[in-house]
């Protein structure tokens, strides 16, 4: 799919310098809990030997192109069916849970069983406020944190996704397909939850991620494109309409303190 909108560009041209991606939180409530996305870098790796993998240009290139979003919550969730066979989430931490029971339902959702891809694999969604934006063609790919080792593997796989964030900014959720629902989902605050990869027109350009201001123009555009998945089956068919409504500039980097 091609996009023809001419966005504001730096004076030295659209393809110069790094591809700049902005991140922001769609809501400020509890913002202190949500860490900024971080580039995947293994700082403590052995770099003393000339042939160490941590000095391999191919390895460095790969790692530098992924940005990590950390889990903001401590969760220990089980799955069961009630006496009528309906699926339910179980808070295994009970009263010891850092997340209050009345708030857990606002964060974590068991998707309607009719929408599961497989009848024996429940789908769970964790709501998050992370959103990304760019002022030139840029696709974001969300995928599992495959370079980070988990001592207790998750009992399933995450739903990845890929879309052009320059015309379709939307908050990313963590969606999980529960392959072994007899095993619990254990998420720990501060651990990698998922990665994001950003792709522009030129794959050789480096990527920088900066915190973005929630300007009036950005908030107005978000209002125009938000929530449409509840009303249409193929939301990607709306890209052209969104492109026509998009102002020339949405990304304004937030000044550093």
Q: What is the pLDDT of residue 109?
A: 94
Residue range 192-234, pLDDT digits in tens: 999 999 999 998 889 999 999 999 999 999 988 886 655 555 5
175 CB-near residues (< 8 Å, 6+ apart): 123, 124, 125, 126, 158, 159
Cα angle 119, 124, 130; round to 5:
145
The candidate with the shortest Cα–Cα distance to 224, out of 167, 182, 185, 156, is 167
Q: Classify residue 194 as exposed, middle or buried by CB count within 10 Å of its CB (0-12, 13-18, 19+).
A: buried
Q: pLDDT, tens digit, for every residue of 101-121? A: 778 888 999 999 999 999 999
Query: What is the structure's pLDDT at 237?
Result: 74
Cα–Cα distance for residue pair 54/48, rounded to 1 Å: 9
In whole angstroms, what is the distance from residue 257 CA to residue 252 CA? 15
In this prediction the pTM is 0.85
Residue of 96, 43, 103 whose CA lies nearest to 72: 103
Listed in order, strand segments (DSSP E) in the chain are 19-25, 38-39, 66-70, 75-81, 87-91, 108-110, 123-126, 130-133, 139-143, 156-158, 161-164, 174-178, 185-187, 192-199, 207-211
CATH code at 19-214? 2.70.40
Looking at residue 9, what is its pLDDT? 46
Q: What is the mean pLDDT of the chain?
A: 86
Confidence (pLDDT) at 46: 57
pLDDT (tens digit per residue) in 39-95? 987 655 555 555 566 667 788 788 888 999 999 999 999 999 999 999 999 998 887
- The values of phi and psi at residue 229, to 5°, are -65, -20
Distance CA 199, CA 203 (A): 6
Asked if residues 143 and 120 have their Cβ atoms less than 8 Å apart, the reply is no
Residue for token pair 């950390």: 70
């Amino acid at each position: 799919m091609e996009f023809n909108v001419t966005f504001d560009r730096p004076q030295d041209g659209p393809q110069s310098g790094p591809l700049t991606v902005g991140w922001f939180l769609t809501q400020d409530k509890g913002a202190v809990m949500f860490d900024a996305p971080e580039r995947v870098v293994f700082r403590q790796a052995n770099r003393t030997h000339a042939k160490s993998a941590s000095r391999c240009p191919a390895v460095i290139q790969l790692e530098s192109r992924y940005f990590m979003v950390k889990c903001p919550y401590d969760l220990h969730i089980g799955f069961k069916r009630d006496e009528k066979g309906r699926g339910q989430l179980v808070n295994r931490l009970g009263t010891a849970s850092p997340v209050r029971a009345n708030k857990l339902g606002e964060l974590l959702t068991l998707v309607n069983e009719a929408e599961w891809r497989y009848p024996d694999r429940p789908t769970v969604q964790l709501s998050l406020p992370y959103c990304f934006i760019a002022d030139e063609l840029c696709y974001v790919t969300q995928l599992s944190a495959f370079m980070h080792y988990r001592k207790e593997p998750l009992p399933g796989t995450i739903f990845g996704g890929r879309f052009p964030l320059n015309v379709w900014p939307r908050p990313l959720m963590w969606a999980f397909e529960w392959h072994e629902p007899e095993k619990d989902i254990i998420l720990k605050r501060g651990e990698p939850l998922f990665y994001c990869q950003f792709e522009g027109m030129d794959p050789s350009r480096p990527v920088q991620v900066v915190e973005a201001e929630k300007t009036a123009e950005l908030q107005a555009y978000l209002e125009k494109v938000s929530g449409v998945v509840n009303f249409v089956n193929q939301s990607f068919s709306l890209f052209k309409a969104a492109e026509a409504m998009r102002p020339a500039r949405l990304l304004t980097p937030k000044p550093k303190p």
